[in-house]
Each structure stands twice: as C-alpha cells, then as structure tokens.
Structure 1
C-alpha cells in the first residue's frame, strides 16, 4: 500500500495516468464486486436510515461529527472517493495527476456537475473551499491545506495545488468529510457560520435537502440533475432520529428502518440481530476512519507520569476478554497507534500481554507497595458516556486494575461534561476512540506531537505526552516523498510510542452495519454508509 503514490507518479511521468484512472462506469465493479446488469437495478423507492444522535447542523464544512456526515454525505461531495484499500477514485474530480517531485497536484473536474440550485460547479468553488472556507472553520482541513503554497484554477474545470514541500498524505485529504466542496456563490464574502443558507444546505450530491422535523426525521430527495446519468436510483431517504438503543434495535428488527451504522447497535444486541433472516451485517466501510479505541492517560498526573505505571496498567488488562465478552467479537486487539488497515502499520512492536505478575513487578520497581487493604495506588477513571457497553468497559477496568493493587474510582459525566473534562485536562484516565483518516500523518500524528498539546481542544494531544524524537519522526514522515524512508520513520515512531505507552490501545474497532436485504450497494467504499448512495437501490416490496 505504501507504494501506491510512487506508482501514480510513475504513471504520471509516462503519461499513463488517465488510462490508469477508473471511469465512472467501472467504479461499481471495482468497489462493490461485479457490476450489476442495468436491468437488474430497480429504480425508485425510499430508504429509512438511523441517525443518532441528531445532527446539530447539516453543513458538512462546518461540522464533521458522525451523524452530520451520515446525512450530509449524500448532499455534499469531495473531489475524491476511496475504495476499501484506500485507493483514490473519482468524485467531483474525474481524473488527477501528481508531479514526480510530489509538489504539484492537478485535478480535472467533471464538466457537468451543478449545485442543487442549478449553478454550475467550477474550479472557482474548489479554490474558495480549500483556500478560504475550510482553513477558517475545519480544524483537520486547516492542517491538511497548510501544506499548500498556492491553489489556482487554470480554467473552469482544472485545479492545481502547489505544495510548499512534499506531503504524501495529501492524496487522502479530499474525502467528503475532510474536504467537502462548498458553493462559493453562496458563502464567499459572508459569515460562514451565520449564513442563512445553512438551514437549507446546497451541495452537488445525488440527494437534495427537503425537510427536517426536529426530533423526528430528515428527508432528502433525488437530485434529478445529478451529473451521473440515471443516478441516483432512489427517490429519497428518510433519516430517522431514534435516541434509545433498544428502540433502534427494535426498528431494525421490525423493518421500520433499513440501515444502521457506527454505534447505532449495542454490541450485545449484535448476535441476536445477525440471526434475523431479513438483515445482513458487515464490518466493511470503516477503512478510511479506521477507529481505534484506547484508555487515554493524563501523563501530567502522578503516578501516571511514570511510564512503568502505564505499562503496568496495560499488563493488567485482558484485551481478548474485552473484545470477546464486552464487544462480542467485534474488533481486533490493537498493538499500537496505527490501525492494521491503515498504511504503514508496524506489527513488530513490544507486546503487553495480560500478566498480573509482570504488572506487580513494575509497580514494585516504582516502590508502590500495597497497604493493609492491598492498594498500591488510587486513580480516577471517567468513562466515555456513549452507552451501556462503554459503562461495562469501565466496570471491567476497575475490577482488573483492582487485582494489581490499583484502586479505581469511576466518575460519571454526561457527554458535554466529559468533553469539557478531557479537553481541559481535568481527568486522570478515560476511554475514547479516534479515527485515522487513511494515513498516519493525517489521523495519528496529531494525537502525539508536542505542538498539538492544546488545552480546550478535544482530539488533540490531551494526554500531554511529549517526546522530541517522536515529534521529529512524524515531522519528517509528513514531508518524505520516498515511501521506503517514510515507512522507516513511521515504524520507529510507533515503536517508541508503544514503549512509552501514552495511551493503552485496546481494540481496532469494527462497527456493525446492519442492512435490510432488500437494499443493494449500501457499502461500496472505505466510508461505508457515509458515502453518497448514488449507487444504492432497493427491491420493491
């Protein structure tokens, strides 16, 4: 996987890129198995999809939370899409070239794409989105496009990015939540967050906004002027707001809804739902985000500032038990900071097997002797308030660490309180999961580098971990054009991190996506049900 960019550059140099890129007609065959014969596809019909919690807004450029993307990923589009192996595919860009030195990226845009109000989509929109809109309001995009020296539009359907230095991860920066294209004619010159059009989002996608009944549903309808002939196949989509987990499972069971994703279904409901004859389950479609769960540690807090204590805590957990008994087999035991489905994953790192004797040896080495009650140290765990499974994990952690003499006090919060505590470093340990966004330079480095220790900012380096060598390796890897050199730098960084244990990695998470069997092509790319559903169709009842 690490050689794909080099491969594209060789094709560019030889003039063969255009031939190597997939045409839209071949896209379904590549991403979803053999293409269906046209007569097999049934046009029309409506989907019912769970969305939870209810999105705060549907303008994807302004909010990238999961529920927002579930809905808005059908309204807005990025320049590129990505298959399950994270290879780039056409989106609003129908082809692209990368210069051999990795400094120039040229995208050819689809000539017939339009915004939902009928205004043509042009290179002007791409320049506005990437040079003005996203750097102001989108934290992840701000970092990605900070590598850009200039973005220009030679003509209405060509965009050229010139980088300050090589940034190989740049090809992963154009997924729809990372860089949703925004209409310049609506937003340029306005206060983006207060624009009155935010309540009626306008994109280029296969579905248009129709109605939002707060607390009930969001209704999207077919874009009859979509640039891919004959698509989308569906007449519309209803996104049903169902706050209660038991009610969501019942809605799938009864056929009231057709699709669930991410955390919609509690893991303990999965075995029962898998047995239902009208449902299928898949864990595909999360390769781009590659969720990784961990126990986050405030390394500023004693005794957690000592890596031996953190290592002891790691040895005090049975992660196979966590996977099998708490997550009911969903996921893989994590070995380090890079998910194994993400490029440059390094498997050869120190291992922290479940070993209470080893844990106690490390605590002895620190001089933490047990008192009369067998307690060597006392810490607080603030479980992530995301449902019953995370609460069960908190109880398991408390019991497990108690066996090695570490007393755990569980601290309950609501979502807002939890975010405030963690982002402001007012915690000792918590559990969390993060996304990787297709490349370590995009989704991994941000968690561990010293200059991303930003109080009040969630999903930054809230642990306070700092290692100059790790900073140096991630900085070099971000701009290294040679895939082999880059791999070596990222490998070394992972080995250091696993030794330092700033977090305790638990699982490479696998979310269960349930789909009614009458629905076809629901999961075709690396972002699964967050994709635009242009290829999705339903069998008529």
Structure 2
C-alpha cells in the first residue's frame, strides 16, 4: 500500500475527502492520526522497551502506576498502595473490574506472573528491580504484597507501563516468552486494542468498549502512520494529515516553524520521568580512553552550549553531570569544563600524548548512532572539535543492529548514546556506572566498561537509604566523583518537542507524556 492509497483509505474511514492536503473537521472524540518513527519491531512491552514500542504499546498495556509531571505516583491498575515504615513492604490494592482485551479478568495472579516469572527473564530494568524482592505474594485476587530484602525507596517509581508492564498469565504461562510473546497478538488491559498492523504503513488501534474506567477512552481509534522521511513527517503535520508528533519525529530545526502554524501547538512537557540525557560514550577499557586526563581533555574540547543551541536548536539544557537537573538529587556543585583547547592540550601533553609529524596525537573511531540527522551532526561536530587538539576522528556508519552490537560488546572507541533516568537515579542513572552492570552484549548497561569501587559503594548506599537528606549526600558525592573522572562526556538534557493539533485535549497529562495510555485524550468539540 503506497502513501496515496493509505491517505485515501483514511479519508474514507473518517468520512471526509478533505483528509489529503488539509486538516479535516474533527468531531469530539473521533480519530487521531499520529506519526510513529521508526516503526516498532514488536508491540509487546514486556519484550521490547524501545521508544516506538513504548509509544504504541503504552495504549495497549498498563502498569500498576502512572506518575504525575512532578513524579508523584498515581493510580492505574493499582487503585491504592501502602509502604511500611521500614521501607521493606509494599502493598498494592488492584482495580477490581479490569479485563484483558480477550475478556478475561485481570487479577493479582497476572501481577505475580509478570513480576516473578516473565519480566525477570525478558526485561533488564525490571529484572534489576524485582531481584531486590524477598517475596512477591497475593493474599487475594486483588492484593499484591512485595517484600524487599533491603529498603529500596526507588521501588515505588518502578511501576510505570514500560518499566513493569502487566502481561496476561493465561496466555503466556508455560510458553517460550520471547518467541510466543512476540508472535501472539498484543493483549493488554489498556484503553485501546490492536485492530490492524500493516508493516511499513500504519498501526491501527481501536477503543476498548468495556474499559474499566467509566467513559474512557475518549477517542474512537488511533492510526499510527509510519513515515521514514523527516521532511514528509513535517509536511504531514503542516497539511493536517497527522495531528501528533513526538520524541524525535520532527527535526529540531523544524520544531519552531511548525509550532508557529495556526493549527499546531507544541510542548516539551511529558518527558520528566524519562529525563533523557545525551552523551558521548567512551570505551574506558581502551587506551587512551582509560586515562581520565584524556577524557577530561575531550570534555574541554566540546562546547555543550554549541550542541544545545546549534544542533538541538535550544530543545535541551547543557548537562553538568550524570543526573539531569529535572531529577531529584541533582547537584550543580560539580567541576566544570569550559571549552578550552589550551587546557585540553596541557592535559594531553601531561600524559605524554604528543602530536606526530602530521600533527595527530591519536586516532579514534566514532561508531555513529543511526538515529537521524541530529546524531550525524553531533558526530561531525565532535570530529571537528577534537581535531583542534590533534585528535583524529574517523566516522563509521552502520545500521541499528550494527551499532547495538558494537557498543554492547565493547567493540568501539567512542560513540553517541542517550539513556532515560526513569524517575530516580537508582533506576536510570546508576546502571551506567556501577561495575556490576558491565554486561557484554547487553545494551544500555555499563557499556563504557567504567569501574570504580567508590562509585559502586556510593550508588548502593544511596539506593537503600530511606533518609532523603542522606540520599542527597551520597548522590552529591557520586556526582562530584563522576564529573572528575568523566567516564562519559555528558552533552545535553534533551527536551523533546511534542507537536500536536491544537484541537487535541489531554495530550500530555503525566510525566510519561505520549507514552501514556491516552484514555482521556480527545478532540475538542
């Protein structure tokens, strides 16, 4: 099916021949057409947590909790919860009328299955969280009790949909989770179900008639259109063919222009839980990256404000260290690295890395991130910036699979990367730097191969400490230590643009924004 045929099909669905070329009139509720790029590999969030899977899968599956923009826990599949004073016992009371899309009831048995069996096998983040449990029990059909081995205050932040999606026990128990979970149609408790997926074209979701929250969802259906070309994505918003773009759908240089159009609005809200951090990944196992003076020199050669202003067009904050300024326990009182070729050269000379006859001190291979023009520009800028001190950078292009294989297996010199902070440093930050998470072949772990026993000690102490002021002290110390050692080169705290038709309401209602379930999202009458 080509683009023209798809547009005609949607126009017929909407009962409006005005779909092509201009925004169509939209009844209250109605049909949302959104962009999805790249196309998700699968929709089962228990097996895949990549961003496109999170966007679409977040309408199909649900976790026990949602989180407000200030990261306060909110009810979802759990109506209420209690935490014991000693921080060891978490008791969740579940909603009593939720159903899976095939009509079977959702109960505590599904929570036990998801948290004890499936997720620890298939979901790296969930495995790390639920490994901290001494036991997970269900005293009745609508109560689940988690007992921890040690206090872990970040535990309450681990139940958003992509971090701990609930999966149907009756369909997957006893199966090969990875094989059968990928092959079976996605069956969740969310407000939308999968109606059709035409690979390379669109994903069609329809409203669940008997969703457990009254008068929800507001939308009748959602079409996610796969549009690989960045210019075509912008045109689709401009002409009203799509009404929603998120994450990296729109290139930063186009965001301001599009948001200024009469029928479009833009927000950077809704990414607070993720707080994405962009950095240059360094393979700390290899010389000269294994010398902190070299890593410090690289930081002096990179102008983070240039990256923010000229590559990300202001849709970011310049990073100061490993914890985002939007997160709890952030501390700005750390060592700074102003752009200075002179300071970089002094550090390189100190470590004996002198330039050769050709002026080159070292040659690094940059394994480029195959994720759009922004990452290409970052790589090209890094090559230019490092060249000022005699460091030659060779750019290596590859596909997504090749990039993942190289970085996860430590087969690289430098690369780009971006990780989510997931509401708490114990969930989304520590994993990059603790030596216990150096896991060959596992992406988004400690792929830099950085190891420091003091860093390990501080992160673990902060993770199990209940006193907030003591946690802050631990995290302050580890931020200061990491910024001294520079295991990665932090660039920017990304602020993604969500651009949407200004008739849409309740697009962003939580800290997970467009990844939330869209149960209340609707068009104004």
Residue 510 (1) aligns with residue 491 (2): no
User: Matched residues in 1 for 2:285 and 2:121: separation?
Assistant: 31
Identify which of 126, 142, 148 aligns with 2:111.
126
- 2:452 aligned partner: 467
- 1:75 aligned partner: 60
- 1:534 aligned partner: 519
Identify which of 465, 480, 491 aligns with 2:476.
491
Q: Deviations over 1:57-84 (max 9, x none)?
A: 1111111111111111011111000011
Q: 1:43: how far off? A: 4.4
Please list every run of 5 or more consecutive structure 2 residues that lacks an aligned counterpart in the other structure: 1-25
Residue 141 (1) aligns with residue 141 (2): no
Residue 381 (1) aligns with residue 333 (2): no
- 2:22 aligned partner: none
**Does the residue aligned with 1:162 lie in a helix, a strand or coil?**
strand
Q: 1:425: how far off? A: 1.0
Q: 1:199: how far off? A: 3.5
Residue 184 (1) aligns with residue 161 (2): no
Identify which of 262, 265, 271 aligns with 1:277.
262
**Does the residue aligned with 1:73 lie in a helix, a strand or coil?**
helix
Mapping 1:34-433, distance limit 5 Å: 43-195=28-180, 198-433=183-418
Please list every run of 5 or more consecutive structure 1 residues that lacks an aligned counterpart in the other structure: 1-40
TM-score (norm 2): 0.93
Q: 1:376: how far off? A: 2.4
Contact 1:55 1:68 in 2 (8 A): yes
CA RMSD of aligned residues (A): 1.4
Q: Deviations over 1:271-292 (max 9, x none)?
A: 2212211111111111111100
- 1:442 aligned partner: 427
User: Matched residues in 1 for 2:68 and 2:135: separation?
Assistant: 28
Contact 1:59 1:198 in 2 (8 A): no
User: Matched residues in 2 for 1:241 and 1:145: separation?
Assistant: 35
Contact 2:42 2:182 in 1 (8 A): no
Q: 1:207: how far off? A: 0.8
My pick for the range that moved more, 301-310 or 197-206, is 197-206
Q: 1:215: how far off? A: 1.0
Contact 1:122 1:156 in 2 (8 A): yes
Q: 1:104: how far off? A: 0.5
User: Matched residues in 2 for 1:43 and 1:275: separation?
Assistant: 24
Contact 2:37 2:227 in 1 (8 A): yes
User: Matched residues in 2 for 1:167 and 1:368: separation?
Assistant: 44
Q: 1:432: how far off? A: 1.1
Q: Deviations over 1:486-530 (max 9, x none)?
A: 111111111111100000000001111111111111111001101
- 2:15 aligned partner: none
User: Matched residues in 1 for 2:466 and 2:454: separation?
Assistant: 20
User: Matched residues in 1 for 2:180 and 2:301: separation?
Assistant: 52
User: Matched residues in 2 for 1:421 and 1:215: separation?
Assistant: 27
**How many matched pairs?**
500
Contact 1:77 1:205 in 2 (8 A): yes
User: Matched residues in 1 for 2:99 and 2:482: separation?
Assistant: 46
**Does the residue aligned with 1:249 lie in a helix, a strand or coil?**
helix
User: Matched residues in 1 for 2:256 and 2:221: separation?
Assistant: 30
Contact 1:186 1:197 in 2 (8 A): no
Contact 1:58 1:198 in 2 (8 A): no
